[in-house]
Amino acid sequence: MAQVPPPPLVSISVDLEDYFQVEVMAGVVSRRDWEAMPARVEANTERLLDIFAATRTRATFFVVGWIAQRYPRLIAQVAAAGHELGCHSYWHRPVFHLTEAEFRDDTRRAKAAVEDAAGVEAPGYRAPNFSLRLDLPWAWQVLAEAGFRYDSSLHPIRHPFYGAAGAPRQPFRLDSGMWEIPMATAACFGQRLPVAGGGYWRLAPLAYSRWGLQRALCQGLRPVCYLHPWELDPAQPRVRLPPASRFRHYVGLASLERKLRALLREFGSLPIRELYAAELGALRMEVSA
């Protein structure tokens, strides 16, 4: 009798944005210019959907509200393929650059745009560029008030742009009842190593990312990973950037699809809300009690 494979213990998440919306472009492409930029997001997202379909895997898509408003059919297509929808802000500005009022407006507008586009709930939040920090209590409060059941914005590694090096590696529950589900890391000789996707997958050999995810699993994590549709697009228009930003954005674009397919075949993927159903389900029951 054929054996039923065990369910995946990994979640791939997609920050659904176009190449010109990333933080390293913010000083070069202003938000007023977004409309005029050659768009790639539809073709790149459809390519990702094909990869997930071919590997029989499902993911969580954290969608930029600006994209959801302009491409509602694309967002509905993502939901119809069985993926989870989440929110990735409206204007893709770092949380720590905003006031509380600005963050509240941006978040509510984004959540409404994503949910209106697909007609389904977007229960999770992902901050642009992992810019949510534990020392911004008002931001966590805004997310809880907006009705999010979880956040997945902390990347607990040392990084020049993030601020979560000391945050827990394991998911944890906030006083509001909302869950924080951080990016996966691998602990090794007292260090936390980044293994969760994006630029790290593009830069590192596939063997390193496989080792890192296996190690995170052995250490009791259910790893959450991330990538962007533009990271599968080596032919995207080149924007003139400072050398460090150019390296960060363009390194390894041609290699990611092969690596992603291999990782999906080996580890599989479930949407975050299914991978963490025990935690998030408990929250739902308590809220309704």
Q: In the range 111-130, which residues lie near Zn ion by CB under 5 A?
A: 128
**Nearest-angstrom CA–CA distance, 267 and 289:** 36
Shortest reach from residue 278's CB to Zn ion, in Å: 28
Shortest reach from residue 62's CB to Zn ion, in Å: 8
Q: Does 65 sit near Zn ion (CB under 5 A)?
A: no
> Of 12-20, 72-80, 158-166, 261-269, which segment contacts Zn ion by CB under 5 A?
12-20
Q: Among residues 33 and 170, whose Cβ is nearest to Zn ion?
A: 33
Q: What is the DSSP code string of 23-43?
A: GGGTTTS-GGGGGGSPP-HHH
Judged by CB under 5 A, which of 10, 15, 44, 87 binds Zn ion? 15
Q: Among residues 11 and 55, whose Cβ is nearest to Zn ion?
A: 11
Q: How many residues bind Zn ion (CB under 5 A)?
A: 3
Q: Among residues 14 and 136, whose Cβ is nearest to Zn ion?
A: 14
Shortest reach from residue 215's CB to Zn ion, in Å: 26
**Nearest-angstrom CA–CA distance, 174 and 139:** 12
In the complex, residue closest to Zn ion by CB: 15
**Nearest-angstrom CA–CA distance, 16 and 37:** 16
Closest to 63 in 3D by CA, of 107, 33, 29: 107
Q: Does 212 sit near Zn ion (CB under 5 A)?
A: no
- Residues 6 or more apart whose Cβ sits within 8 Å of residue 211: 186, 195
Extended beta strands in the chain, E state: 11-16, 60-63, 84-87, 124-125, 150-151, 172-173, 179-180, 185-188, 191-194, 224-227
**Nearest-angstrom CA–CA distance, 249 and 244:** 9
> Of 15-23, 137-145, 184-192, 250-258, which segment contacts Zn ion by CB under 5 A?
15-23
- Site residues, Zn ion (CB under 5 A): 15, 17, 128
